[in-house]
Chain A
Amino acid sequence: MNDAIRKVVMPKWGLSMTSGKVTEWIASEGDEIADGDDLAEIDTDKIAGALESADEGVLRRIIAQVGEDVPVGATLALIAPADVPDAELDEAALLAREELDSGAVAEVAGPVTGSVEVEGRTICFAALGEGEETVVLVHGYGGDKNSWLFVQEPLSQSHTVYALDLPGHGESTKDVGDGSLDVLAGAVLGLLAERGIERAHLVGHSLGGAVVVAAAAREPARVASLTLVAPAGFGSRINAGYLRGFAEARSRRELKPHLAALFADPGQVTRQLADDLMRYKRLDGVDKALGALLGTLLDGDEPALDVAPLLSEVDVPVAVVWGRRDAVLPATNGEGLDDVEYVEQAGHMVHLEQPNAVVAAVNAVTNRR
């Protein structure tokens, strides 16, 4: 096949995804496509999201129809410059269609999972990509490594990207000790040390934002840059009701209303999301961990963390991304910070709602020297 013809394949979003469906083609055949443009809406049994193009050119052929179940790695569409002859595209499209119909699709390599031991705790991670520089993604309160699914894959094209589970979260040890920022930052730095990563670009969301700042302050030499996505520890406002509601919810029914605070579009709060979060919350030890971390985040109804002084000690490039419609840590919390990029159509979960904004910010800051 002509190298100029690029395949758009079904992405692997998260470890358990094996197939997905195109629910809508956003781009049409003949459209000019730039890197990062939304091509299609994809729905998996877990999550729905927009598939962004990693290439540029013209969308020449659509292979997978709306509603068709497509295995991860199978070709959804073909992008090529306008000057590639139609005959070549027809041939490539035929092959792709045959491959899809036969089901003989080579499984794409998803993230590699592993774990390290840090101060008696098992810290789990998923790594993707083979870039020279390493990016480490640190989730927020109640999140886990899978919450970066739309960000990790695009970043992996130029970096080695780790997403980890903080103590008390995901598949890591649920014990968080006193729940302090120090314990959490220690886990991030421990991952770097155990994996032999001398220096990494740290990306933190929400509580994870405060964690990466603390990590940078503790071991500045290990940190190449910081990307803070709606970080905790800045400004004076915090949605204590959401945090407590999340910690205390005992059922899907109790949890779901609280989750609306996370997104600009409450329609993103699916039953599946609430189910997945309840699955996590029902693991032994999670209640206790979330309780301890609540103490780290809240002082009464006020924020308990202030990491601005720590950030001022750190001399590395810093990017800040904040959803304009954040209802957990309002965007006004970013007022004291330099060069905040506000994302209009995003709430607190910018990396899920507008992942390209986060990807762009990380790419920009990792290129700054």
Chain B
Amino acid sequence: MARTISYREALNEALAQEMERDESVIVLGEDNAGGAGSPGEDDAWGGVLGVTKGLYHRFPGRVLDTPISESAFVGAAIGAATSGLRPVAELMFIDFMGVCFDQIFNQAAKFRYMFGGKAKTPVVIRTMYGAGLRAAAQHSQALYPIFTHIPGLKVVVPSSPYEAKGLMIQSIRDDDPVIFCEHKAMYDVTGEVPEDSYTIPFGEAGVVRDGDDVTIVAIGRMVSVAEEAAKQLADSGVEAEIIDPRTTSPLDTETILESVENTGRLVVVDEATPRCNLATDISALVAKEAFGSLRAPIEMVTAPHTPVPFSDALEDLYIPDAQRVANAVKTVVEWKR
């Protein structure tokens, strides 16, 4: 039965249901239980923001705390995936990819190709991204474009509790390595989620809102920002179609192109910094494949080309908001040759 739960609860439920269903699924990461070797409680934290809470006692021996040693445990998750387990490793903040990237992009991503199609690496690396928590430059980045760039990785960026659960279950059952990007400001966002297990396939965009005047492609948390903008725009008679790619690799290019072919206008909203991000990638795609349909230049709404600032006065300017999206839409709708 569908009920309203949070993004955090949706992820926890997905992990629990898959651990229940398949005993090769294990969970590992820094403080995924919390309290290992300490005099106090076991399962003290359940992950730094509580996503894995309760799994430690429910699935004895299958939730592993790790030292703060990302290369070792991310690499271990990858090695274990080649040896019959389906590990879900938590790279606490996506910013920490810097200390373990080799294991992800030179090892996991390339095994299948460089071993001539004979490797299977069903690992999921869960990681938090995104600004808005005043966590500053090393705990706030939206680095999914870097993973998207790497052949061999699949990259998931869910925008709602429903997507979080279905995409997580798909990620765990998927036989390729998956980078699962959770926006840290979305854990308390609630939405309707079925109790049953279900999957959402990769490479199929969600169409969050139908509209004929402009296509807004928004990634992850930016979907809700785009929805807010679309509501404002509807009051002034502009109907925006909002497309949520759900996975940046694979990318559902067909749904994006079909929509732009109908609306003739594109705004891409991406929380990542502007060089070589999803906004540039999708814009290039549309400029190449749907040039004839475009009735105005493409607009990109992104973070500026800076590290994420700390002060709320700056961070609020850094993150794309509904007003900027609405302004971009107005620019493309009102554009005249």
Contacts and interface: CB of A to CB of B under 8 A. Distances in A.
A77 B255 CA distance: 39
Contacts of A251: 201, 204
Contact of B207 (A113, A250, A271): A271
A283 B194 contact: yes
Nearest to B237: A67
A284 B197 contact: yes
Interface string A115-130: 1000000001000000
A283 B166 CA distance: 9
- Chief secondary structure at chain B's binding surface: loop
- Chief secondary structure at chain A's binding surface: mixed
A368 interface: no
Interface string B1-15: 110000000000000
Nearest to B2: A171
Query: Interface range on chain B: under 10, 10 to 19, 20 to 34, or 35 or more?
Result: 10 to 19
A312 B33 CA distance: 64
B104 to A, nearest CB: 28
Nearest to A124: B1
Interface in B106-135: none
Interface in B234-254: 254
A282 B204 contact: no
A174 B204 contact: no
Interface residues of A, number: 18
Of the listed residues B194, B198, B254, the one surrounded by the most CB atoms of chain A closer than 10 A to its CB is B198
B197 A283 contact: yes
Nearest to B254: A253
Interface string B183-210: 0000000001010111111001011001
A252 B197 contact: no
B60 to A, nearest CB: 24
List the 4 closest pairs (A to B, CB-CB), nearest first. A284-B197, A283-B198, A282-B198, A283-B196
Interface of A: 16, 113, 115, 124, 171, 174, 250-253, 271-272, 275, 279, 282-285
Interface of B: 1-2, 166, 192, 194, 196-201, 204, 206-207, 210, 254-255
Given A275-B207, A282-B199, A283-B196, 20 more contacts: A16-B192, A115-B1, A171-B1, A171-B2, A171-B196, A251-B201, A251-B204, A252-B204, A253-B254, A271-B207, A271-B210, A272-B210, A275-B206, A279-B194, A282-B166, A283-B194, A283-B197, A284-B196, A284-B198, A285-B196
12 contacts: A115-B1, A171-B194, A250-B201, A251-B204, A252-B204, A253-B204, A253-B255, A282-B198, A283-B196, A283-B198, A284-B196, A284-B199
